[in-house]
Amino acid sequence: MTQLKLRKQFFPRAISDIAAFTFLIFMLPFCYWFEVFVVLPTRHAPGITFWYSLYIVWFTFLLISIVSNLTYIILTDCSIRGEVMPSTLVPPWKFCDLCQCVTPPRSWHCEVCKVCILKRDHHCHFSGCCIGHNNQRFFFMFLIYMTIATVHTTILNACFVIERESLSIWLIIKILFPLAVFTLGMDASFEDNGNI
């Protein structure tokens, strides 16, 4: 197993990166707190019950998985710094004028990070760094865990709002997908049923 290179600058540089990173850092614990201490007690009786304990473990697992993968994304260096590159230019290798070195195929120079990134995918504003060869697997797992957490909490929050506000499911569909409801002609059926 290869050892990961650590980045020298961990914190975001651009204003947009700082804003997105700050938003993510504050929203992750807030969403965890909201789901565990506001939504979950309305769905399951608080205390030492099986379902309540299972949900606490599940939400904690998701939070730890998301934060640990985000940490690895931020700490892992994907740049050409410290890499031994050949001094001769042989196709498909190219010369980066900004870094003043020969770079391998699929590497690109990032204007924000100010360095060439190996197997560069994109610059992630939420992590404040480029996604490349060494941290792509952590980014992929971060996206998977974020998707699972988002879908799960969206379902729980929809049930929470429906129960608290006594809304019908059709009204929520109409609010969330107005264009689809209008395009499919379902708007008239809602009015006929008195669900508005």
pLDDT tens sequence across 145-159: 999 999 999 988 888
Rounded to whole angstroms, the Cα distance separating 7 from 72 reads 10
Residues 6+ apart with CB under 8 A from 10: 74, 75
Residues 196 and 137 in one domain: no
Residues 189 and 143 in one domain: no
Sign of the dihedral through C-alpha 122, 123, 126, 132: positive
Confidence at residue 185, expressed as pLDDT on a 0 to 100 scale: 73
Residues 49 and 135 in one domain: yes
3 inside domain: no
Residues 183 and 160 in one domain: no
6 inside domain: no
Confidence at residue 196, expressed as pLDDT on a 0 to 100 scale: 47
The string over 55-82, giving b where at least 16 C-beta atoms fall within 10 Å of a residue's C-beta and e elsewhere, is beeebeebbebbbebbebbbbbbbbbee
Residues 43 and 133 in one domain: yes
1 inside domain: no
Residues 45 and 113 in one domain: yes
153 inside domain: yes
55 inside domain: yes
CA 38 from chain centre, in angstroms, equals 23
Confidence at residue 74, expressed as pLDDT on a 0 to 100 scale: 93
Tokens read off for 115 = 């360095």
Residues 36 and 61 in one domain: yes
87 inside domain: yes
Residues 156 and 171 in one domain: no
Counting other chains too, the contacts that 183-189 makes at CB distance below 8 Å and 24 or more residues apart are none
pLDDT-flagged residues of the chain (< 50): 190, 195-196
Residue 57: closest CA among 84, 35, 81: 35
97 inside domain: yes
- The count of structural domains within the chain is 2
8 inside domain: no
With H, G, I as helix, E, B as strand and everything else as coil, classify residue 91.
coil
Residues 53 and 131 in one domain: yes
Residues 28 and 125 in one domain: yes
Residues 140 and 187 in one domain: no
Active site residues: 124
Domain membership of residue 190 as a residue range: 167-196
Q: Are 118 and 99 in contact (CB under 8 A)?
A: no
Residues 143 and 56 in one domain: yes
